[in-house]
Amino acid sequence: MKKISLMYCLSLILCTVYAQNNIPGWLQNLTQGEVGNALKDALKVGATRASEKASARDGFYKNPLVFIPFPNEAKVVKEQLIKIGKKDRVDTFEKSLNRAAEDASRKAANIFIDAILKMTLQDAKNILIGGDSAATAYLRKTSTTPLYEAFLPIVQKSLESVGAAQQWKNITEMYNKIPLVKKVDTDLPAYTTRLAIKGIFIYMAQEEQKIRKNPNARTTPDMQKVFGAMDGKNNNSSNQ
């Protein structure tokens, strides 16, 4: 069976949306094709940009909003290493965590687009007339599990390839031998994967905000027309 195209899915959704009576006037003034194209383009552009930025070199490592630090439950291990002059080991280790997240983020765009294909009528309505983070909220709800499944083996392989996994094992085993300390038993790949996913959604939210707020981020005529109509609706609401 042929795979249904994204535009066809959105057209089916929007036919039903337009048949209902509770759609705001600003939306009724737009054609189904315009709204469908704008929604498709916005989601695809946002997801692609988020994936590209997160997966770029230093996309995690030099961005304080998404930087993955030494595991918090092992903070005392980090402190002891720095105290004995091993800060370089801490820095190298943290860099490896962030490099693993950057590697995994290359998979995000395709996973997001797959979630877009599975949108329901209610999902589409929520994104079209929802708040400033409606698209990100939809993708977070639908994509977190697939992202985790796709990211985890990449993160694990990346951590192993740079020696971070073995280094972590050595560090925690050494620390856990100290009498009376609380044992550290962090699953490093799982920890890194969870924070990588958190980071990709931060990037996605930023891209959604740009499209909703900044006309220059709307790269197609349909995006400009539909989101421009939303701008007018929001301006009218704020002036009342």
Domain contains 51:
yes
Domain contains 239:
no
Domain contains 1:
no
Domain contains 211:
yes
| Residues 36-57 pLDDT 10s | 778 888 888 999 999 999 999 9
Contact 171, 77 (CB under 8 A): yes
Reported pTM: 0.82
Domain count, the chain: 1
Q: What is the pLDDT along the chain (240 residues), one digit of tens a residue?
A: 444 455 555 555 555 555 554 555 556 677 777 777 788 888 889 999 999 999 999 999 999 999 999 888 778 788 878 888 888 888 988 999 999 999 999 999 999 988 888 877 677 777 877 778 888 999 999 999 999 999 999 999 999 888 888 888 877 777 777 777 777 777 899 999 999 999 999 999 999 999 888 889 998 888 888 888 877 665 555 555
Which residue segment(s) compose the domain that 13 sits in? 6-234
